[in-house]
Chain A
Amino acid sequence: MILYLGKRVLAVAGVLLVICAVTFTIFYVLPTDPAVHACGKTCSSEQIALVRQEMGLDRPIHEQFAAYVSGIAAGRDGCAFPCFGYSYQNSLPVWDLLTDRMAVSVSLALGAALLWLTVGVLIGVASALRKGSALDRTLMAGTLASASVPVYFTAMILLLVLVQYLEFLPYPDYRPLTEDPVGWATNLLLPWVTLASLYAAMYARQTRSSMIETMGQPYIRTARAKGLHERTVVTKHGMRSALTPIVTIFGMDLGGLLAGAVITEHVFGLPGIGQLTYDAIFKADQPVMLGVTLLAAFFITVANLVVDLVYAGIDPRVRYA
């Protein structure tokens, strides 16, 4: 088990290194010259050359890459561990930018995840247990509609109705959880609902089909033949199996969202990783882009690992394979 875990962690590190190399190469071959951006509009070509030298951009790519990676692993002079370089825009350490923004994206992702998981699974199970009923058809029509609406549209409608007309909620303005928990929740409510309405719909549909399949399994009949209460049959025997595939997609979705929900953050003006990504792309801020790419890759690969471990915990056939 320890050995397995060690191997998997090494594999994660390997994947991250490869992603890092690929991203690095892509940025290297891009036509935009980072020195021009870093220097500013009024720089002369001599100044740019100087900046280029200072940034190490005149060195061969493998040297630059080695310097970058060792900076992440151990820091380098003047740039504390873990060093992801400095933003071209404001010369702040990329790591500090990432950590500052992380709280926002994590708040957004976790809150929304809790919401969509609960709602999605409840709808899915209810639909599955009353397959073909009016309730099932209504819920499924609703989820189909909800899943087809783009995030920015949902966001706009919610803002218009709840904030503009009804003045029921304030316009989202992020507050740190540690300073103002109530403000944190009320301001994140709309973004949570927006994101969750999309994911909950997809989860409801997944849960429904998985649950229908499971409830038709012979072992469910066995459970009923034991005289168990239908409630026990559904939860202990049905949902236990039916939700296993949901765990997988949940891990992946959450991993992806932790590294920023670009559209949602942008629409609601939330200063998260997604917003940082958005700005970095438009300003060709390569160190930041590299940083957010690696962060996303990190979350996704780690989520993958966690999902596999959780899976082995749920399904003994995987554990003993």
Chain B
Amino acid sequence: MTALLQVTDLRVTFAAGTAVDGVSFTAHQGRTLGIVGESGSGKSVSSLAVMGLHRNAIVEGSIVFDGEELVGASPSRLRALRGSRMSMIFQDPLSSLHPYYTVGEQIAEGYRLHAKASRRAARERAVEMLADVGIPSPRARVADYPHQFSGGMRQRVMIAMALVCEPDLLIADEPTTALDVTIQAQILELIKKIQEERGVAVIMITHDLGVVARVADEVMVMYGGAPVEHAPARQVFKTPGHPYTRGLLDSIPRHDLGGGGPLQAIPGSPPSLLTPPQGCRFHPRCPIYARASAEICATERPAFIAGLACHYPGAAT
């Protein structure tokens, strides 16, 4: 299966420092890649790089979308792809929608641009999209403003907006974080349904392993701006290879995953972007390092081999 998106050795550097280094992943049509990690691990930075949305950053490495290299591509080429062939939805649907325009206008805007549609056709399309994402009486609601919708309905609007041009890739950056649990489940179901109907490739970014368990085929776990584990979802939940993944699994209620045991938070805090620790970035918080105090963990950065970046593969399970 050829990948729709192939990211290789991505590196994003801001004036303040390098936020993401050595990120590689692929996305396939009709499949979902889950990207998991704590706050600040570089999930958003990586996905914004794919969208070409970094403005004050140096993006290096390779991002190949449908056979086309996007690193170094012209701004106009990236604009042509954004919103038409790749789309993104964001965490907070209220602040991500413009307060002064009706949802219809905001959905239609991208369609008019990319599909060269007339105002009227784009409006019809917006109504259609609202219906598709499950908004009741779409013909009436198309003229409403974002503040007149509930949180879940707003996220549906965002999804309608992202899908209006039938993209091949949908990046969802913590789409359910701002929503309450029942609404979360509905939004995830919607994304899943849309994926099945349209065959889009989905990248689901989250810090919630529960979300990943529901939707992802494959999981990439990020820590300190780099992947630490990358494997099929089932494997990650059954036999996590990295102590950080293990820690994440232990820190969520496992009843929905069929597990048990007491909840445990990972001690310590995520590494700083400015002064990342020497050696393995996770070692200051790592139980293996604490137990074995292996010299190599503190001095040498583990290579990413066979979906795992750890000097002690297997020790976590």
A→B interface (CB under 8 Å): 217-219, 221-230, 237, 240-241, 314-317, 320
Q: B238 at interface (Cβ–Cβ under 8 A)?
A: no
Bound complex: CA A314 to CA B83 (Å): 27
B60 at the interface (CB under 8 A from A): no
Partner of B145, one of A240, A314, A317: A317
How near does chain A come to B195, taking the closest CB pair, in angstroms? 19
Give a binary string over B23-63; 1 marks a CB under 8 Å from any A CB, 0 the rest. 00000000000000000000000000001010000000000
B108 → chain A closest CB, angstroms: 11
Q: How far is the CA of A230 from the CA of B52 in the complex (A)?
A: 13
Q: Are B96 and A218 in contact (CB under 8 A)?
A: yes
Stretch at the interface among B86-94, B245-253, B262-270: B86-94
Contact B84 A227 (CB under 8 A): yes
B110 in contact with A227 (CB, 8 Å): yes
Is the pair A222, B90 in contact by a Cβ cutoff of 8 Å? yes
State whether B87 touches A219 (Cβ < 8 A): no
7 contacts between A and B (CB under 8 A): A218-B95, A224-B82, A226-B109, A226-B113, A227-B78, A227-B113, A240-B98
Instruction: Identify which of A224, A226, A229, A316 gathers the most chain B CB atoms within 10 Å of its CB.
Output: A226
Residues of chain B lying within 8 A (CB to CB) of residue A230: 75
Whether A222 and B98, one on each chain, are in contact in the complex, defined by CB atoms closer than 8 angstroms, is: yes
Q: A226-B113, A227-B79, A227-B80 are in contact. List 5 more A-B contacts (CB 8 A).
A: A227-B84, A227-B113, A230-B75, A317-B99, A317-B145
Q: A222-B98, A317-B99 are in contact. Are A228 and B109 (CB under 8 A)?
A: yes
Q: Is the CB of A223 within 8 A of B99?
A: no
A226 x B83 contact (CB < 8 A): yes
Docked-complex contact A227 and B81, CB < 8 angstroms: yes
Q: Nearest residue in A to B76 (C-beta to C-beta)?
A: A229
A211 to B100, CA, bound (A): 16
Look across to chain B and name the residue whose beta carbon is closest to the beta carbon of A316.
B145
Write the nearest CB–CB distance from B266 to chain A, whole angstroms: 29
Taking the closest CB of chain B, its distance from the CB of A162, in whole angstroms, is 42
Query: Which of B99, B113, B147 has the most chain A CB atoms inside 10 A of its CB?
Result: B99
* B100 A314 Cβ-Cβ under 8 A: yes
Q: Which residues of A contact B148 (CB under 8 A)?
A: 320
In this complex, what residue of A is CB-closest to B51? A225
Q: Are B96 and A222 in contact (CB under 8 A)?
A: yes
List which B218-250 residues lie within 8 A (CB) of chain A.
none
Q: Which of B66-85 contact A (CB under 8 A)?
A: 75, 78-84
B99 touches A221 (CB 8 A): no
**Quick check: B79 and A229 within 8 Å, CB to CB?**
yes
A93 to B102, CA, bound (A): 53
Which bracket fits the contact residues of B? 20 to 34
Report which of A224, A227, A314 forms a contact with B114, defined as CB distance below 8 A: A227
Q: Which residues of B contact A224 (CB under 8 A)?
A: 53, 82
The contact string, 1 if C-beta is below 8 Å from chain A, for chain B 124-146, is 00000000000000000000010
Q: Are A219 and B161 in contact (CB under 8 A)?
A: no
Kindly state the separation between the CA atoms of A316 and B158 in the bound complex, as whole angstroms: 19
B97 at the interface (CB under 8 A from A): yes
Complex contacts, A225 vs chain B, CB 8 Å: 51, 53, 82-83, 87-88
Q: Which residues of B contact A221 (CB under 8 A)?
A: 53, 90, 96
A146 to chain B minimum Cβ distance, whole angstroms, is: 30
Please indicate the chain A residues that have their CB under 8 angstroms from the CB of B145 in the complex: 316-317, 320
**Residue of A217, A225, A229 ringed by the most chain B CB atoms within 10 A:** A225
CB distance from A244 to the nearest CB of B (A): 8
Cβ–Cβ < 8 Å partners of A316 in chain B: 99-100, 102, 145, 147
Asked if A228 contacts B79 (CB within 8 A), the reply is: yes
Q: Write out the residue numbers on chain A whose beta carbons fall within 8 Å of the beta carbon of B88.
A: 225
Beta-carbon nearest neighbor of B85 in chain A: A227
Most chain B CB inside 10 Å of its own CB: which residue of A222, A224, A315:
A222
CB distance from A7 to the nearest CB of B (A): 24
Residue of B nearest to A229 (CB): B79
Contacts of A223 in B (CB 8 A): 98
Question: With A225-B88, A320-B145 in contact, do A241 and B110 touch (Cβ < 8 Å)?
Answer: no
Q: Which 5 A-B pairs have the closest CB atoms?
A: A227-B83, A227-B82, A226-B83, A226-B110, A316-B145
Given A225-B83, A226-B82, A226-B113: A219 touches B98 (CB 8 Å cut-off): yes
Cβ < 8 Å to A, chain B residues 184-224: none
CB-based contact B90/A218 at 8 Å? yes
* Closest chain A residue to B109, Cβ basis: A226
**Residues of chain B contacted by A217 (CB below 8 angstroms):** 95
Query: What distance in Å separates the Cβ of B276 from its nearest Cβ neighbour in chain A?
Result: 26
Contact of A317 with B95 at beta-carbon distance under 8 Å, contacts A225-B88, A226-B109, A228-B113 already known: no
Return the chain B residue nearest A220 by Cβ. B98
Contacts A225-B82, A227-B113; A219 near B51 (Cβ below 8 A)? no
